[in-house]
Chains A and B, each alone.
Chain A
Amino acid sequence: MEASAIPTAWLAGLSAPGGVLLVVPLILPVVGLLLGLLLGGRRLGPFVFVLLSAGLAAAVVVAAAVVTGGEPMLYQLGGWSPPLGVALKADGLSVVLLLTSAVVTLGVAVYAQRDFRPPGARETRGSLAFWMLLLGVWAGLNTVALGQDLFTLFVALELLTFSAVPLVSLDGRAETLAAALRYLLFALLGSVLYLLGAVLLYGAYGTLDIGLLAVQIAAAHALPPSVLAAAALMTVGLMAKTALVPLHLWLPPAHAGAPPAASAILSALVVKGSFFLVLRIWFDLIPGLLDLPAAQALGVLGAAAILLGNLMALQQARLKLLVAYSTVAQIGYLFLIFPLAGTTSGPTWALSAGTLQVVSHALAKGSLFLAAGLIAKALGHDRIRDLAGVGRVLPITLLASGVAGLSLVGIQPSGGYLVKAALQGAAEAGGTWWWGLVLDAGGLLTAAYLLWFIGHALSGHGPHPATAKAPGRAQELVSLALALGSLLLGLLPAQVFELISVGRVPPPEPIATAWAGAFHWGSLAAGLLPLLVVAVLVLAFGPWGGRRRPGPLGWPAVGAAGLGSAVGWLDARLRCWPVAGFSLLALVLTLGVGFAFGARACVT
C-alpha cells in the first residue's frame, strides 16, 4: 500500500503545472547533435542508442504521469505564460507520438549500428550525417508532439523536413539527389501555406497559442472567414508534407531510394509528424470544422489514396517501390477518420482510431522497410520476380515481412484490424456504408501484393541466391520485433486505449469496451475467407516455378492489364510537378469555399 502510493504521488508531482519533465525529450536529441560533432560518426552510433533509450524512458514516465494524473501536463518555458511565452503540453495524443517515435527510432538505431559503422578506424561522412539527421528527425518529432504554439510547430516541421531530405540522398547518387530535391521543394511549398495560415490566425486573434486560439475561436458565434481561410491553407500545406493523394509526387522516389534505415524512419515517422498537426488543427484548434461537409472531402482524398496507392503497389516490379506505394495507401486510412468524426461515436473515438493507425502503421512499415533493405542487401537487387529462394536465406526477415503484412491487411489481433473495425463501425453507425467498401477493397489489394511478394520469396525453384553480405542477426530481429509489436497492438490492456481521452471529451461508450468486443472467432473467419480467395487467385495467376510467361490471356487478364495501365497513367500524370502544384491550389480553393458555404449553412 505504502510502496504503491509513493510512485503515484511522485508522478502526480510531475504532472503538476511546471513539470520540467517535458523539456527532457527536447533536450536529449539536441545534446546528441551538439556532442555528435565532437564524437564523430564512429562513436556517435552507440551514443545515439544510449540517448534514445533515455528518451524512451522519459516518454514512458511522461505517459505514466499523464495517465495517473488524468489530465495533460503543461510547462511554460522560462515561466512566461502565453500569449507572450511559449507553452509545452503533453496530452494523450502527444504521449502516443512521443512513445511511437522513441520506439521506432530506437529500433532503427539498433538496425543502423551495422550499416553505418565506418569500416576500420576511418571516419566517413555518411555515418556522421546519418546519426546527426536521425537525431534531427527525433528532435523535430518530439517538438511536434509537445509544441503548443503554431510558430513553434512550424519550426519543428521545418526541422523535421530539413533532417528528412538529406536522409533520402545519403548515398549521393543522381537519382536520390533528384528525389531529395523534389521532396524539399514540394515540402517547402507546403510549409509556406502552413505559415500563411498561421499568419492569418495571428492577424485575427493576436496569439499563436493553440489553447488560447481554441477558446477564442469557440467563443465566436460563427467561424470568421479568416479562420476558415487559415484552416484551408494549413490543412492543404500539411497534406502536401504528408503526401496524401494527389500530392504524393515526391514520396515513391524518395522513400524507395533512401537507405533502408532512412526509408523506415521516413515512412514510419516523418509523414506522421505533419499528419499529427492536421489532427491538432481539426480536433483541438478548430473542432467546428469536423461538422462541416468539407470534412467529407478529406475522406474522399483518403479513399482515393487507398485505391490508387494499393493498385500502384500491385504493379511495382521493385520491392522498395511496392512498400513505398503501400505507404501512399496507408496514409489514406489516416484521412478516413475526418468524415467519420461527426458521427454518433464522437470525435474522440475517430481520433483514437487515427492515432492507432499512426502507431500500427509506424511499427509495421518500419519493419517492412527494414526487411526490404535486408533482402536487397543480401541479393544485391530488389526485383520481386527474382526473389526466388530468399525464404531459405533470410527466414526471419521473411517472417517479419509476413507478420507486418498481417497488420497492414488488418487481420486479428493486429492494430490494423482494430483501426478497420473502428472505422467500419463508425461508417455503419453513420449510415455511410461506402467507406466500408473502400476499407474492404484496400485490405484485399494489400493482401494481394503482399502475397505476390512473399510467394516469390518462398518459391524455391530459383537458384540458391549467392549472399553478397550476410545480414546481422540483430538487424533481422529488430525487423521482427517491430512487426510483432504491430501485430500484438490489439492485445494491449484495455486501459491503454483510454490514453487518447486524457484532456478531451470522452466518447459515449468507453473505447476499451468497444474494442474489447471487436475480437471474436466469427469475425476472424469472416476476415480470413476473402484473403484465402485472394491467395488462390495470386497462386493461380503467378508465374511460379520458373514459368515466366503468363498463360493465354483471358478476358480477366486483359481487363486487369487495362485497369493497371489506366491507373499507372493516372498516377504518372498526378505526379507531374505542374499537375501536383495546381492540385494543391485547387484543394486550397475547394476546401476554403467548402468551409465558407458549410459555415454559412450552419449559421442560417
Chain B
Amino acid sequence: MSSETLFGLCGAALVGVGLFGVICQPGALRKLIAFNLLGSGVFLLFGVIAKRGGGALAAAGQGADGDPVPQALVITGLVVAFAATAIAIALLRRLAGLNDQGRSEGEPPPASRSRSDGGP
C-alpha cells in the first residue's frame, strides 16, 4: 500500500467519523469538535492530492514531486475552519452564561435549553 493510499484512507476515515459526530452527537460542543475532524479529513485528502502532483505546475513541466498550490489552499482552509470554531465557541459561551445566570437568579432555565445544544 503506497503512502498516498494510506493517507487517503485516513482522510476518508476522518470524514466518516466527523460526519457521524456532527449528525449524531447531541451536544453542540461535540458537534463542533466533530466538524473539526471532518474538516481535517478533507484537508488531509487535499494533501494527498498535492503529493500526487498533477496540478498546474505539473502541466507546465515543473514540480513533478508535489504540487504546492493545495498547501496554500489548505492553510487558508485551516484559517477559515479556525474562524468558524471561534464564532461557534463565542456563541456557546454566551449561551452558557445566559443559562447559568438564569439558574442563579432562581428562574427556570429557558425553554430552549435542550434545543440550544443543537439537538431536537
Contacts and interface: CB of A to CB of B under 8 A. Distances in A.
B66 interface: no
B94 A581 contact: no
Nearest to B59: A206
Contacts of A155: 76, 80
B112 A178 contact: yes
Contacts of B49: 199, 202-203
DSSP majority for the A interface?
helix
Interface stretch (A164-172, A287-295, A355-363, A545-553): A164-172
B23 A581 contact: yes
B32 A174 contact: no
B120 interface: yes
Interface residues of B, number: 47
Nearest to B15: A196
A577 to B, nearest CB: 6
13 contacts: A151-B76, A166-B87, A169-B91, A174-B110, A177-B98, A178-B112, A180-B91, A184-B84, A188-B88, A192-B38, A577-B119, A577-B120, A585-B19
Interface of B: 15, 18-19, 22-24, 28, 31-32, 35, 38-39, 42, 45-46, 49, 52, 54-56, 58-59, 67, 69-70, 73, 76-77, 80, 83-84, 87-88, 91-92, 94-95, 98-99, 102, 110, 112, 115-116, 118-120
Interface string A549-591: 0000000000000000000000000001111011011000000
A83 B39 CA distance: 25
Nearest to B49: A203
Contacts of B67: 206
Contact-residue bracket for chain A: 35 or more
B55 A202 contact: yes
B84 A158 contact: yes
Contacts of A581: 22-24
A185 B94 contact: no
A184 B28 CA distance: 11
Best-buried of A154, A172, A203, A582 by chain B (most CB within 10 Å): A203
A184 B91 contact: yes
Given A174-B110, A192-B35, A195-B77, A203 B28 contact: no
A180 B90 CA distance: 11
A196 B59 CA distance: 23
Given A84-B56, A203-B49, A189 B22 contact: yes
A585 B54 contact: no
Interface string A189-200: 100100110010
A491 B49 CA distance: 51
Contacts of A579: 120
